[in-house]
Amino acid sequence: MEWLTCIRNTIDYIEKHLEENISAQDVAGQVNISPFFLQKGFSLMTGYGIAEYIRNRRLYQAALDLKKTDSKVIDIALRYGYETPESFSKAFQRFHGATPLQVRDGAEIQDFLPLKINISVFGGNHMMNCKITPMFPFRVIGFQRVFDNETAYAQIPKFWDELCEKYADHVYAGNPPANPYEKAIVDNCIGEYGICIDDIGNGQFRYLVAGRYTGGEVPEGMVLYEFPQCEWAIFNCYGPLPDAMQSMNTRIFREWLPGNPEYELCGNANVEWYDCINGEKTDPDYHTAIWVPVKRKS
């Protein structure tokens, strides 16, 4: 599905089902796209996570119901997915700055209208240093952790820091591997890839700190993952982390996808590539890349 149509259909679907128990997974199924890519793209384009957007729209509609109807607070709470008046009142006051009863008595409310998506593309896709590259199947090996879509941006860097402190710093300092994990890091250049895999559901995804698997022992607790043969859109980034990569991520979803006449997203995983040989992540010209699986539009 064309990307802008996908985002607009997402917003339309949410509007039609505000009073139902829907999740980001449900929305992604309706617009036929990976929940991971939908969550990521929606957030980058709108500034809101899907769950946050649904919650805000419901709290706004609940405030209108309080002002325009005689419905009981408990009935309105249940209508918009809250199991108790207490949980509803807490979320309502946090969003509107007033309690449900104060709003019913005339207090001001926080507006939150349905989003309208309009995109302007500047400079052409070539300005993003993108190339489409077919790749044969390849396997990676890495350390895995499951993250929530809502908190992943803050938690994933901590995962990297934890692994570096526990395993990588010793060998990166030039010391020989002292255990199977350090040997796997050296043999497979673990740390070259950061990989998001959307195959769990429930607003979660797997993240691997990984390298290309060269064979040999897979230490307990580490995992293998194989990418099928497909085409990848590769976006090179130059600059200190995390700003360079976050900026490129935003441009992919705001500019490249909406303005691309040939390609659309496919698959359920993407790859962050890091130059493990040249430079430091704080260097002004540090080289990274984002790999996104794509297919030609039919």
What are the residue boundaries of the structural domains of the chain, listed by start?
Answer: 3-104, 125-296
- Closest to 106 measured CA to CA, from 151, 73, 67, 145: 67
Q: What is the pLDDT of residue 126?
A: 39
**Beta-bridge partners for 134:** 231
pLDDT at 35: 85
C-alpha to C-alpha distance for 181 and 191, rounded to whole angstroms: 13
pLDDT at 119: 56
Which residues of the chain are under the pLDDT cut of 70?
A: 1, 118-128
Q: pTM score > 0.95 for this model? A: no
The CATH topology of domain 125-296 is: Multidrug-efflux Transporter 1 Regulator Bmrr; Chain A (3.20.80)
Instruction: Give the model's pLDDT for residue 128.
Output: 65
Residue 171 has which token pair? 């060998």
* Of residues 248, 254, 253, 10, the one with CA closest to residue 120: 254
Query: 3-104 is classed in which CATH architecture?
Result: Orthogonal Bundle (1.10)
pLDDT for 181-216, tens place per residue? 999 999 999 999 999 999 887 778 999 999 999 999
The answer to whether 290 and 235 have CB atoms below 8 angstroms apart is: yes
Q: Which residues contact 259 (CB under 8 A, 6 or more apart)?
A: 119, 121, 125
